[in-house]
Structures are given as structure tokens and as C-alpha cells.
Amino acid sequence: MSNQHKKSKYNFANTGWLLIEKVLQLFLGLGVAIYVARYLGPEDYGVLSYSQSLVMMFSAIAALGIDNVIVRELTQDRDNVHRIIPSAIIMKLSGGALSACLSTVTAWIIAPSPDMAVLVAIISVSMMFNSSIVVNLFFQSVEKIKFSAIANSFAFTFSALTKVTFILINAPLSWFAFALLLDSIYIAIALLIVFLRFKPQMAAKYTFDYSFAKRVFLESWPLIFSMLAVMVYSRIDQLMLMQMIGKEAVGHYSVAVKLYDAAIVLPTAIIVSFFPRVVNAMKETDIATAFNRYFQIPIILAISIAIFVTLTSFWFIPLLFGEQYQASSSVLNILIWGAIFTVLGMIRSRWVTMKKLQKYTIVYVVIGMSINILLNLILIPKYGITGAAWASFAAQVCSGYIGVLLMRKTRPFFRIASNLLNPFRWNFHRGIHG
């Protein structure tokens, strides 16, 4: 078997395991979300979503913007796994602690009630356990996603069972905030077990490398601000709807956001799976060719999902969530087209990482955030939740696509993005088998 065929075989196996995990996450997670939304009703579901969104606004600080850099380092320097992994985990633990503190303090200042601030405090602790994502990054880099997929699948199953149990015993709202914390704990435990079984001989060798951590942080810190801006403009809609309209509006909007998040699960899985392959492909070809070859598939998938959702949302949302959530369909039909540019933004994030241009991303991301906030202020009073959806869509287009034109060094990505969006330039054979 030729090396090219071996690469294709491993790439398909890698992608296959990740897709199995994401499909399970998609259907199990979405099924439980529907159950929870029906149980809580629009008002309480709106409160829970508001609390989660406030925490997520600070998740960029917990992530530190280092994920793509860590994958790159693990892919290119496999002899130093023993220092890369613990350094990244400790960095993320520190970021998670800071994120939890900031989100809790912010909640006590701006939350409409002390009860919501308590929910935020509970959920925010999950930011520290999210440091376990480093194990996922390791398995991505060595193209052994099978192991993390199995661990994550077990964690998703336990999380789903926990939430269903809470519903069956008629648990109060605060228990579901605790369930969101348990999600992160389950994943951290499962990944730790799988990793120690995969690399048992290396456990005693792991050491924190301050110089490595400093170098990675200095390279990645601009992404913290850009990711923070992304999280603000992706979650600010719900916070502003709570302040300007009320709990029920947030509940309707949150159902649309939940379905939007589900829609990008598979495109995201493909991007994550193919990124190490893109890194290796760049040894033989230029970056534009590598990106166009491997990343057309998630774009095609995102467009296909947008078309399907637009044609069917008006009947499947009332069917799944109940007639009380009918208003969510018009919001989803707007948000789902923005998902295409969200996927494009994920691809752009990896492009700037490979080009080491992370410091430039903050400009156009902040512009996207500013557009979203400004349009929310204008459109929400007039159009309600659909106005918030249009504001979000405009922000996604600016951040994921148009924004790169603002700086000379990032403009080459606009050509790559345009090629990815252009159906007349799609090459299915190269995209799948290249």
C-alpha cells in the first residue's frame, strides 16, 4: 500500500471516530436539551441559558487561545510531549480559575437577580475542568482520536443520564446549573483515565516547562482578546435580550442557539480532524492549496445544513420542543446561515495560526463584536428576537469573512475563503482523497 493510500486510510479512520463521537454528542445532547427545555419552559430555560452564556463570555480567558498552537507543537515536536502537555494543562487551569472569578463577579454586578448570580457561580467552576481539552489536543496531533472519542462518548452518556434523572425527580433549576458543571467533570475524568492507559510510561516524566509556556503564551495572547470578542458577540444577544425584553425571549432565542450549535458540530469535527493533515500537507504544497483541499468539505456541509434547516424548521421546532417554542424557528432560520461564516472563521483561525498572524485577528473580531452590539441596540427594540438574530448574522459575516480585508497580511485568506464558498471551484475528489 502506498504512503498516500495509508495517509488516506488513517485520515478516514481518524475522521470516522471523531464523527461517531460528534454524532452521539449531537443526537444525545440535542435530545436531552429538548427534554430539559420542555421541562423548564421558556422562562426558566431562558434563565439557565442566560447564566451559561455569561460564563461562556469569559471562556476565552480559560482557553488562552493556545489550542491550535498546542496541536501544531505536538504534531511537529513529538519528542517533547512530556513537557508540552503538563505546561498546557497548568496554563489552562490558571486561565480557568481567572475566568471563573471574572464571570462570578460580573454576574453579581449585572445579573437581574441574586439567584442568577448563584447559577453563574456554579457553572463557572466548569472552566477549570475544561483544561482536560489538552488531552483531546494530544490525540488530535497523533491522529488517534479514537481514544478521546471513546472517553468523550462515555462522558456525554453520563451527562445525559444525570440530566434525565434530575427531570424525573422534579429537580429545581439550580440542579441543572450543577449538571453543566458535572459535564466538564465527567469529561475530565474520562480523558484522564484514557490518557493514562495510552501513555502510562510517561506519567512520571511529565514536567512543567516555564520557558515553553511563556513562548506559547506570547504567541497566542492576541487570540485571547479575539476569542473573547467572539464569545461576547456570540452570547451578548442573550444578555441584551434579558435586559431589554425578558426571560421568555431569552428562552426562545436560546432554543435557536442550541440548534445552531448542533448544526456546526459535524463541520467542526471535520476541521479538527483534518487540521493535523493540513499541517503535514504544507510540507509538500503551499498553504492555500492545503486549505482548499481539506476544508471545502465542512463548508459544503454547513451550506447543506443551512438549506435543510431553512426548509424544515417551522415544523420540527414545535414538534420537538413544543408549541411554546414556535417563535424560535424564525430566529433559527437567520442564525443558521451565519453558521457558514462561523465555520469559515474556524478555518481562518487555523490559517492565522500556521502563518503566525494571531495578533492581527483582534481587529476584525472586535469590529464584528461592535457591529453585533450596535445592531442589537437598534434592532432588538424594533424587531425583538429576530432583530438579535440579524445582528448576530451580520457580525459573523464581518468576523469570519470580510474582516480579513482590513489588514494587508491577512488579505490572502480572503481569496482562500472565497474559493471555499464558491461552488464552481469545489473539487470533490481532491477534497476527499487529497
Q: What are the pLDDT digits (tens) for 4-32?
A: 444 444 455 666 676 777 777 777 888 88
Q: Name the residue with higher pLDDT: 3 or 141.
A: 141
User: What is the rounded CA–CA span in Å between residue 40 and residue 49?
Assistant: 11
Mean pLDDT of the 416-431 span: 70
Residue 261 in grid coordinates: 450549535
Cβ–Cβ < 8 Å for 36, 321: no
In the Cβ-directed half-sphere of 178, how many Cα atoms lie within 13 Å?
Answer: 8
User: What is the rounded CA–CA span in Å between residue 270 and residue 279?
Assistant: 14
The pLDDT tens digits of the residues spanning 38-79 come to 899 888 988 898 898 888 888 878 777 777 777 777 777 666
User: What is the rounded CA–CA span in Å between residue 204 and residue 190?
Assistant: 20
The pLDDT tens digits of the residues spanning 382-408 come to 999 999 999 999 988 988 888 888 888
3-state secondary structure (DSSP) of residue 205: helix
User: What is the rounded CA–CA span in Å between residue 168 and residue 165?
Assistant: 5
Mean pLDDT rounded to a whole number for the chain = 81
Q: Is the pLDDT at 423 greater than 80, yes or no?
A: no
pLDDT computed for residue 39 by the predictor: 92
pLDDT computed for residue 62 by the predictor: 79
In the Cβ-directed half-sphere of 29, how many Cα atoms lie within 13 Å?
Answer: 21
Q: Is the pLDDT at 432 greater than 50, yes or no?
A: no
3-state secondary structure (DSSP) of residue 101: helix
Percentage above 90 pLDDT, the chain: 20
Using only the alpha carbons of the chain, give its radius of gyration.
21
3-state secondary structure (DSSP) of residue 170: coil
Highest mean pLDDT among 161-175, 196-210, 349-363: 161-175
The pLDDT tens digits of the residues spanning 144-193 come to 777 777 888 888 888 899 999 999 999 999 999 999 999 889 988 888 88
Q: Name the residue with higher pLDDT: 37 or 284.
A: 37
pLDDT computed for residue 312 by the predictor: 92
Mean pLDDT of the 189-199 span: 79
Q: Is the pLDDT at 230 greater than 80, yes or no?
A: no
pLDDT computed for residue 172 by the predictor: 92
Mean pLDDT of the 84-100 span: 85
* Domain map (residue ranges) of the chain: 3-433
Closest CA to 119 of 257, 242, 259, 226: 242
Q: Is the pLDDT at 431 greater than 70, yes or no?
A: no
pLDDT computed for residue 18 by the predictor: 67
Annotate 145-162 with three-state secondary structure: HHHHHHHHHHHHHHHHHH
pLDDT computed for residue 265 by the predictor: 82
Q: Name the residue with higher pLDDT: 43 or 228.
A: 43
Mean pLDDT of the 265-279 span: 78
Q: Is the pLDDT at 99 greater than 70, yes or no?
A: yes
Highest mean pLDDT among 8-17, 129-138, 260-269, 355-364: 260-269
Q: Name the residue with higher pLDDT: 51 or 352.
A: 51
